[in-house]
């Protein structure tokens, strides 16, 4: 048998030298990754926004660990779709809104842009609903939350550096891992999680309620703003074709992070609130606090953080899209006086959405339901455009979709469109599916 | 300059800008192969279906 370590002095020196160069190479790769990392990780973790956290918390409460396997399957779906937007942005150096205008003409361009603005604004309201509900648990009034969030988000962008914005966003992404300690606090049975959660099953049977939950989970996996956000983000960051591998790695790690977070939320509510029907994550946090104070607090903090991260990305997605189409300066590397329209759009979207939540008697539940329906008017169009653009060999060259990629992503796109449509129809007509 | 004048000139500027955008993107750059054409027609029907559903829901809510 060959010895693991060399026995003679020369052999040891060679071994140490090799080890040193390997470590240097690995460190260089990690350094490059850390420079490129950002858009994929941020968009994927922000995908678990306030609405997403509510969906996962409600899924765990109603079905325990039984649907964890389904969440795991959603990881590759999110990866394949977002990888395409990253590739399109890197190659074309233009955002999704501009790419649609250029590729499909002004009719589809205006449709996508205006629909995006509406969907983003409504989604932003739901993020504020989540954030105010989360901090109300700690006695913070709604207006303080809205004012604080707007100030923080203003501070993140006004220094005129993409790098600063991204690194602060990554800190909030890391904070989303708060659900992992929360899950350990409630002491779940690991064997139950593995046996009930990792083997595909439908618990007590497949019915219309479960169908609704499956659709809701898919609906939170891919949202229209994600396509626009990541593409604009890689353009603003200046990611190049040679960095494609790290862009993919960034998206891949992000897709794992988003699923890990979702699974741990399901574990928390599945352990403490099994069989319970909950309407939102703040309600779950309050119930949880009665028996596991710290786990409930972590759930509430996580909900606030998720809403904040969602708001950070969504408000930028709109401003980038407008800037691209109208030809305004639209980079986070621009100061306010260099890109006034970009920042004006950003702040108007942000402040108006926050203000809606503070209006007494505002139809917030209706808005939450409406956003799911309006999102479905944009998502299929954006996904179809994405697929067509990725097949445009003239622009994409060697980075165009291969036949295998088309089969995989085409199947995913059809799957998402059908289920998201059924989800929207079910939201509008709840009695339709029994 | 009053606020009214400033708003008027901003609207006029943006109208010209929108007209320029429409002119610049008047023709799709993507080659309209039968598959692309079919996909775009299907998308229009899909959106009409959704808008009809939304309209129906809106009127039944009002009724």
Where residue A212 falls among pLDDT bands split at 50, 70, 90?
confident
* pLDDT, mean of residues A173-199: 89
Contact A393, A81 (CB under 8 A): no
Nearest to A104 among B17, B30, B57 (CB): B30
Q: Look at the block and give the residue holding tokens 């399109």.
A: A88
Helices (H) and strands (E) in chain A, counts: 18, 0
* Rounded Cα gap, residues B32 and A104, in angstroms: 9
Contact A100, A108 (CB under 8 A): yes
Q: Which is more confidently placed, A165 or A264?
A: A264
Contact A314, A227 (CB under 8 A): no
A410 at interface of B, judged by CB pairs closer than 8 A: no
Indicate yes or no: CB of A101 within 8 angstroms of CB of B25.
yes
Would you state the pLDDT for residue A51?
Answer: 86
How many residue pairs bridge chain A and chain B with CB atoms within 8 Å of each other? 53
A214 at interface of B, judged by CB pairs closer than 8 A: no
* pLDDT, mean of residues A217-232: 87
Indicate yes or no: CB of A105 within 8 angstroms of CB of B25.
yes
Which residues in A lie closer than 8 A to residue B53 (C-beta atoms)?
A: 425, 428
Which residues in B lie closer than 8 A to residue A104 (C-beta atoms)?
A: 28, 30, 40
Would you state the pLDDT for residue A378?
Answer: 82
* pLDDT, mean of residues B35-62: 86
Mutate to test the interface with B, among A388, A395, A409, A416 (most CBs of B within 10 A): A388
pLDDT tens track for A309-368:
999 889 888 999 988 898 888 888 888 888 888 899 899 999 999 999 998 888 877 787
* Rounded Cα gap, residues A279 and A133, in angstroms: 12
Interface ipTM: 0.86
Indicate yes or no: CB of B43 within 8 angstroms of CB of A109.
no
Nearest-CA distance from B1 to chain A in Å?
Answer: 20
B41 at interface of A, judged by CB pairs closer than 8 A: no
Both structure tokens of B55:
């309209």
pLDDT surpasses 90 at A147: yes
Contact A379, A420 (CB under 8 A): yes
pLDDT surpasses 60 at A1: no
Q: What percent of chain A has pLDDT over 70?
A: 98
Indicate yes or no: CB of A104 within 8 angstroms of CB of B43.
no
In chain A, what are the domain boundaries? 38-428
Q: DSSP assignment of A305-331, as one string?
A: HHHHHHHHHHHHHHHHHHHHHHT----
Residue in chain A lying closest to B17 (CA): A326
SS3 for A392-426 is CHHHHHHHCCCHHHHHHHHHHHHHHHHHHHHHHHH
Which residues in B lie closer than 8 A to residue A326 (C-beta atoms)?
A: 17, 21
Where residue A5 falls among pLDDT bands split at 50, 70, 90?
low
Q: Look at the block and give the residue holding tokens 């992070």.
A: A257
pLDDT surpasses 80 at A369: no
* Rounded Cα gap, residues B53 and B60, in angstroms: 11
* Rounded Cα gap, residues A257 and A248, in angstroms: 14
**CATH code of the domain occupying A38-428:** 1.20.1740.10
Contact map slice: A 323-362 vs B, CB within 8 A: 325-327
């Amino acid at each position: 048998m060959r010895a693991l370590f060399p026995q003679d002095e020369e052999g040891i020196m060679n071994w140490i030298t090799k080890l040193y160069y390997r470590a240097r190479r690995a460190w260089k790769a990690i350094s490059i990754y850390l420079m490129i990392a950002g858009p994929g990780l941020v968009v994927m973790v922000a995908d678990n926004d306030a609405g997403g956290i509510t969906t996962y918390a409600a899924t765990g409460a109603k079905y325990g660990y039984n649907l964890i396997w389904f969440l795991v399957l959603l990881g590759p779906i999110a990866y394949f779709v977002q990888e395409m937007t990253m590739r399109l942005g890197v190659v074309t150096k233009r955002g999704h809104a501009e790419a649609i205008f250029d590729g499909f003409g002004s009719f589809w361009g205006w449709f996508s842009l205006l629909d995006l603005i509406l969907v983003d604004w409504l989604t932003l309201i739901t993020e504020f609903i989540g954030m105010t509900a989360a901090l109300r648990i700690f006695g913070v009034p709604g207006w303080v939350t809205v004012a604080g969030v707007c100030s923080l988000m203003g501070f993140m962008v006004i220094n005129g550096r993409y790098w600063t914005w991204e690194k602060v966003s990554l800190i909030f992404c890391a904070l989303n891992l708060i659900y992992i300690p929360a899950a350990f606090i409630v002491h779940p049975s690991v064997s139950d999680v593995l046996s009930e959660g990792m083997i595909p099953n439908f618990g007590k049977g497949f019915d219309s309620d479960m169908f609704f939950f499956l659709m809701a989970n898919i609906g939170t996996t891919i949202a229209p703003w994600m396509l626009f956000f990541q593409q604009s983000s890689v353009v603003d960051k200046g990611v190049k074709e040679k960095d494609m591998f790290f862009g993919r790695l960034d998206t891949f790690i992000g897709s794992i992070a988003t699923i890990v977070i979702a699974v741990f939320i399901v574990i928390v509510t599945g352990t403490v609130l099994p069989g319970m029907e909950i309407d939102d994550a703040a309600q779950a946090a309050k119930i949880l606090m009665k028996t596991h104070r710290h786990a409930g607090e972590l759930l509430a903090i996580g909900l606030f953080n998720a809403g904040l991260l969602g708001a950070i990305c969504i408000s930028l997605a709109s401003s980038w899209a407008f800037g691209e189409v109208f030809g305004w300066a639209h980079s986070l590397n621009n100061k306010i006086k260099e890109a006034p329209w970009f920042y004006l759009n950003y702040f108007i979207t942000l402040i108006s959405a926050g203000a809606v939540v503070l209006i007494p008697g505002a139809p917030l539940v209706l808005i939450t339901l409406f956003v799911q329906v309006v999102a479905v008017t944009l998502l299929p169009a954006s996904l179809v455009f994405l697929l067509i653009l990725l097949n445009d060999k003239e622009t994409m060259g060697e980075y165009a979709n291969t036949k295998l990629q088309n089969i995989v992503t085409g199947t995913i796109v059809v799957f998402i469109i059908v289920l998201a449509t059924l989800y929207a129809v079910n939201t509008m007509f709840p009695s339709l599916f029994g | 300059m009053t606020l009214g004048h400033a708003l008027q000139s901003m609207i006029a500027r943006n109208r010209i800008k929108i007209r320029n955008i429409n002119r610049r993107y008047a023709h799709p750059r993507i080659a309209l192969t039968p598959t692309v054409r079919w996909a775009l027609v299907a998308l229009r029907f899909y959106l009409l279906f959704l808008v009809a559903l939304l309209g129906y829901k809106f009127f039944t809510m009002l009724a």
